[in-house]
Amino acid sequence: MAEAEGWKDKPGLVCRNVTVSGRRTSLRMEPLLWDSLKDICDRESCTLNELCTMIDRRRGDANLTASIRVFIVSYFRSAVPKQPTGFGEASEVKPSSRLRRALQDAIPLDD
């Protein structure tokens, strides 16, 4: 990710200005979501303003920030093929390395 290292040390929400459909607006999201959005822009060779405009044109009456969050989840879900989880009863749960990494990145345990 663009700024993955140390993002947990930043404030809960980061406010940034973007130009969406020709108008300037501000969005408040968690640093990890900003990093994810930057990664998507890099992968798709587009600017942050272009991507936010694409999302804005499709969101209908939904909140723009919420639509961007849902888009980020959808983008990365579509990038990872579905695999059988093997999850059964609680005693059988053996999370994959991907799941363990996501949990650690999103919700680190206090050591």
Within 10 angstroms of residue 20's Cβ, the number of other Cβ atoms is 20
pLDDT at 69: 96
Tokens of 99: 């799941």
With contact defined as beta carbons under 8 Å apart, do 24 and 17 qualify? yes
pLDDT at 3: 47
The C-alpha atoms of residue 56 and residue 39 are separated, in whole angstroms, by 19
Q: Indicate whether 34 belongs to any domain.
A: yes
pLDDT at 5: 52
Tokens of 22: 């020709």
Total-model pTM? 0.73
Hey, CA dihedral for 61, 65, 67, 70, is it positive or negative? negative
**What parts of the chain have a pLDDT lower than 50?**
1-4
Q: Indicate whether 81 belongs to any domain.
A: yes
Q: Indicate whether 2 belongs to any domain.
A: no
Q: Into how many domains does the chain fold?
A: 1
Cross-strand pairs, 19: 24
pLDDT at 110: 64
